[in-house]
Amino acid sequence: MRVVVTGGGGFLGRRIVERLLERGDEVTSVSRGAYPELEALGARTLRADLTDAAATRAALAGAELVYHVAAKAGVWGSRASYERANVAGTRHVLAACREHGTAKLVFTSSPSVCFDGNDHVDAGPDLPYSERYLAHYPRTKAIAEREVLAANGPDLSTLALRPHLIIGPRDPHLVPRLIDRARRGRLRIVGSGDNVVSLTHVDNAAEAHLAAAEALAPGARCAGRAYFVSNHESVRLWDWINDLLGALGVQPVRRRISAGSAYRVGAVLEGIWATLRLGGEPPMTRFVARQLATSHSYDMAQLARDTGYVERVGLAEATQCLVEEHA
């Protein structure tokens, strides 16, 4: 099958590309940067900016299946930059799929499209969208997801997957940043510390994408729907973090800040960063404060039922691999 993966050079995108090549697909990776390591594996690589409609049309020519993984992530940046990358970019992908007669589009979304600042425990795919967003990333991903699902029809079958807190080999963000902040004594338990959270090993996230594409077809149960993706087993977030740190010989996190205080600090820092136009992200934001203090875990039953997805890497193995990688 001729497959295009946008964002194929990224953490999740690369693993999807690798899995597709393993099963013998003809794979094109589309990214803004150069990734010769993907070419060495056998993928065709194209450099293109999805905010450019013409470049997107050219990049997706001939695709039977598209995995749209590329996005502007993070919790800080201008409204316009997120809308260009996540909304306009997705619209260009949809237009290119329609123009080229692409049969299937699997969109990588985020659980944050539903995050309203409250606890979500064992949530299923029917969890409603949030009515208020504290960052441009979840807001623009929600707009894009809605448009992808609305595009589902007899000529183009679509669905969205929402992997939560992806961990695993080559993670450039989540775990390395967490360990670094802990080593520098800059990590605090936010809230009660009892919140339960789902994590997703990158192999499971990639497997969910492949299983979803296999099941996707006009009239399929999964067509036009969105699904959360995570490991089946959830963790008490701060216990898991401290166990990981202990295995790495790093002092556990003991100091605390209340959820309300963290939220207020985030609001102040956002104001300072915006007023002074400082580079990088504030060390705390309102969105991050709410995320760190609340439970967000997900039920995989409907994903498995509708797509045939089977977890590849359990939580214990995933955690042990992190210890070995960062020791």
One-letter-per-residue 3-state SS of the chain: CEEEEECCCCHHHHHHHHHHHHCCCEEEEEECCCCHHHHHHCCEEEECCCCCHHHHHHHCCCCCEEEECCCCCCCCCCHHHHHHHHHHHHHHHHHHHHHHCCCEEEEECCHHHHCCCCCEEEECCCCCCCCCCCCHHHHHHHHHHHHHHHCCCCCCEEEEEEECCEECCCCCCHHHHHHHHHHCCCCCEECCCCCEECCEEHHHHHHHHHHHHHHCCCCCCCCCCEEEECCCCCEEHHHHHHHHHHHCCCCCCCCEECHHHHHHHHHHHHHHHHHHCCCCCCCCCHHHHHHHHCCEEECCHHHHHHHCCCCCCCHHHHHHHHHHHHC
**Predicted local confidence at residue 84, as pLDDT:** 98
**Predicted local confidence at residue 85, as pLDDT:** 98
Burial bucket for residue 36 (CB in 10 Å: 0-12, 13-18, 19+): exposed
Distance CA 207, CA 211 (A): 6
CA dihedral 296, 302, 303, 309 (to 10 degrees): 120
For β-strands 196-197 and 235-236, DSSP reports them as antiparallel
pLDDT in tens, the chain (327 residues): 999 999 999 999 999 999 999 999 999 999 999 999 999 999 999 999 999 999 999 999 999 999 999 999 999 999 999 999 999 999 999 999 999 999 999 999 999 999 999 999 999 999 999 999 999 999 999 999 999 999 999 999 999 999 999 999 999 989 999 999 999 999 999 999 999 999 999 999 999 999 999 999 999 999 999 999 999 999 999 999 999 999 999 999 999 999 999 999 999 999 999 999 999 999 999 999 999 999 999 999 999 999 999 999 999 999 999 999 998
Q: What is the maximal distance between C-alpha atoms in the chain?
A: 56
Return the active site residues.
Answer: 137
For β-strands 226-229 and 157-163, DSSP reports them as parallel
Radius of gyration of the CA atoms of the chain, in A: 19
The CATH superfamily label for domain 2-164+200-230+298-312 reads NAD(P)-binding Rossmann-like Domain (3.40.50.720)
The answer to whether the CB of 5 falls within 8 A of the CB of 17 is yes
CA distances from 202 to 18, 68, 207, 251, 321 (A): 12, 16, 9, 27, 12
**Predicted local confidence at residue 143, as pLDDT:** 98
Closest CA to 56 of 105, 10, 20: 105
**Predicted local confidence at residue 76, as pLDDT:** 94
Distance CA 205, CA 12 (A): 7
Domain map (residue ranges) of the chain: 2-164+200-230+298-312
Q: How far apart are the first and last CA of the chain?
A: 40
CA distances from 59 to 39, 66, 96, 302 (A): 16, 11, 9, 33
